[in-house]
Chain A
Amino acid sequence: MPAKLPSARAGLEGLTGDFPLPGQKDPVALDNAQPAADLAAADRVTGLDKLELGGASDKGSLGKRIWRSAWPKLLAVAIVLIAWQAVVWAEWKPSYVLPDPLTVFKDLGSVITTGDFWGGVRVTMVRAVTGFALAVLIGTVIGAAVSRFAPLRAAIGSLITGLQTMPSIMWFPLAILLFQISESAILFVVVIGAAPSVANGLISGIDYVPRTWLRVGQVLGMTGFAKYRYLILPASLPSFISGLKQGWAFSWRSLMAGELLVIVPGALSIGVRMQQARDLNESSLVICFIIVVLVIGILIDVLFNAADNALRKRWGLTGN
């Protein structure tokens, strides 16, 4: 920064010509010549702004930045693979029960090139997206209602948090009794698992809108709908997004539990294929599907994080 000071100064000198420099304003000149004083004042303001903003920081090239964020992840994967291989070499379990990484990845390679596999992924993803969308809709409506009406909050505010901590697998016996072995049973559990997180995200977002912003809203005369449209909803967005992210994690877990427990005839989802592999004692294939589920989970998490980071960057909530 100090190196930038002289050049900023020099720029101002060029602009002001005969007028006093910033910090050296001459009171006589100020009193006598109004336009000159005004120009000098303009320069002082612009000069100060330039000094305070400083220079742009160098973040390095795109390649470097990708490498910087990628290598710890690659290292972690490598450590897991080495540990796995070590356990296999130690012959803790026979290789048809615990195959080595190379065999699994070869199987994975042949599995993901079949149409059947992608059909299964499609069935699972359609369920996940439908369930999550429904959970977002219901969670948002409940969250908005709870934060709007005090008696409702007293009535079900803590119930929502309670539901959030409930293991979703507990709902399956009831879901099966209510909906039999059907898509609806799975959907029910996915929604009930994810909606409380979405609702809670919205509620805490609305609760923690900074007081100063609310005061500005009052000063600007915001009431009713306008207050929600222009202040409360945008202000609660970061918390709502983390609610969505958590909601997704819950719905994904509930869905996987559901696909293993509620096997709907004809729908060969990832869970069903995994169950079949277990029935046939195909360890390698079971591990393949674990990897697939993990990868899908990570990819979606990356999407949510990207949204979260973009928002943080826009709002200036990152670092400095």
Chain B
Amino acid sequence: MSVVTLEQVSKQYGAGGNALLALDKVSLSVDKGEFVCLLGASGCGKSTLLSLVAGLDQVSGGTLDIGGRHVSLMFQEAALFPWLSVAGNVELPMRLNGVARAERQQRAEELLGIVRLKGFGSKRPHELSGGMRQRVALARALAQNADILLMDEPFGALDAMTRDILHDELERIWREQNLTVLFVTHNVREAVRLGDRVILLSSRPGRVIEDFAVTHERPRRIDSPEVAGQAAEITDRLRAEVARHAS
């Protein structure tokens, strides 16, 4: 069952001679429980696409259907609020939805357990490392009880070791919580490591070039030969696309 469906979606910024076409007739769908990675070089409109799905922006053409489902969006920065404790940050979405204090405290504790940060609830965001903050942001996103989790290069600012470990964590949480994930990245191996499918986008304007199915058995490792092999194949397509812009 498809939870996100884009049909011929276009997005244009500005008008007239200065208009910038960010997305051009993009069609794709994401099934329930699927982990889909969007991959592309700069200017492929990956982030634009997520903003549209998140409802932060309107499409210029085509149709976008998420069936009224709730979405949550994570960014490269954890963007936790420094005036709230870690638990306070996780509780915030529930507070906005009017969940009673006792219930949201309990749920926040539970969510922090899921991201393996039990006991860090009373800390301040700045007392945590980058990877830990990103996990708090994940817990906050989960607190929204969203059906669809959108992630915009969430591990882009982390070091390789931390990123590797967080891939395992995200995979586990995705499996345990039955999430549907749409994950944007420019890192080919990361896309193959995590996705059920990798959708390759062209740049300026963004179009779907190809939709790769990733069938290697999970749990995967980013340095396994299967992942590396498929990543090389996709990288070649990406390079060809980048070279096309030379002329």
Tell me whether A49 and B73 are in contact (CB under 8 A).
Answer: no
**Complex Cα–Cα for A176 and B96 (A):** 51
Interface residues on B, range: 35 or more
Which A6-57 residues have C-beta < 8 A from chain B? 27, 30-31, 37-38, 41-42, 44-46, 48-49, 52-53
**How many Å from the CB of A55 to the closest CB on chain B?**
13
Tell me whether B168 and A41 are in contact (CB under 8 A).
Answer: yes
Tell me whether B116 and A48 are in contact (CB under 8 A).
Answer: no
* Partner-contacting stretch, out of B125-133, B180-188, B196-204, B235-243: B125-133
Tell me whether A213 and B81 are in contact (CB under 8 A).
Answer: yes
Tell me whether A45 and B165 are in contact (CB under 8 A).
Answer: yes
* Residues of B close to A235: CB separation below 8 A: 81, 83
- Chain A residues touching B, majority SS: helix
Tell me whether A220 and B83 are in contact (CB under 8 A).
Answer: no
* Residues of B close to A30: CB separation below 8 A: 219
Task: Tell whether A221 is near chain B: CB-to-CB under 8 Å.
Answer: yes
Chain A contributes a number of interface residues (CB within 8 A of B) equal to 34
The 8 Å CB contact of B79, one of A42, A52, A215, is A215
The 8 Å CB contact of B129, one of A41, A42, A49, A218, is A49
Write the B166-188 contact mask toward A (1 if CB under 8 angstroms, else 0): 00110010000000000000000
**How many Å from the CB of A218 to the closest CB on chain B?**
6
Write the B112-133 contact mask toward A (1 if CB under 8 angstroms, else 0): 0000110000001111111110
Task: Tell whether B153 is near chain A: CB-to-CB under 8 Å.
Answer: no
* Residues of B close to A226: CB separation below 8 A: 96
Query: Which residue of B is nearest A220, CB measured?
Result: B93
- Of listed B95, B127, B130, B161, residue having the most chain A CB within 10 A: B161
Interface residues of chain B, those whose CB is within 8 Å of chain A, are 54, 56, 72-73, 75, 77, 79, 81-83, 92-93, 95-96, 116-117, 124-132, 144, 161-162, 165, 168-169, 172, 217, 219, 221, 224
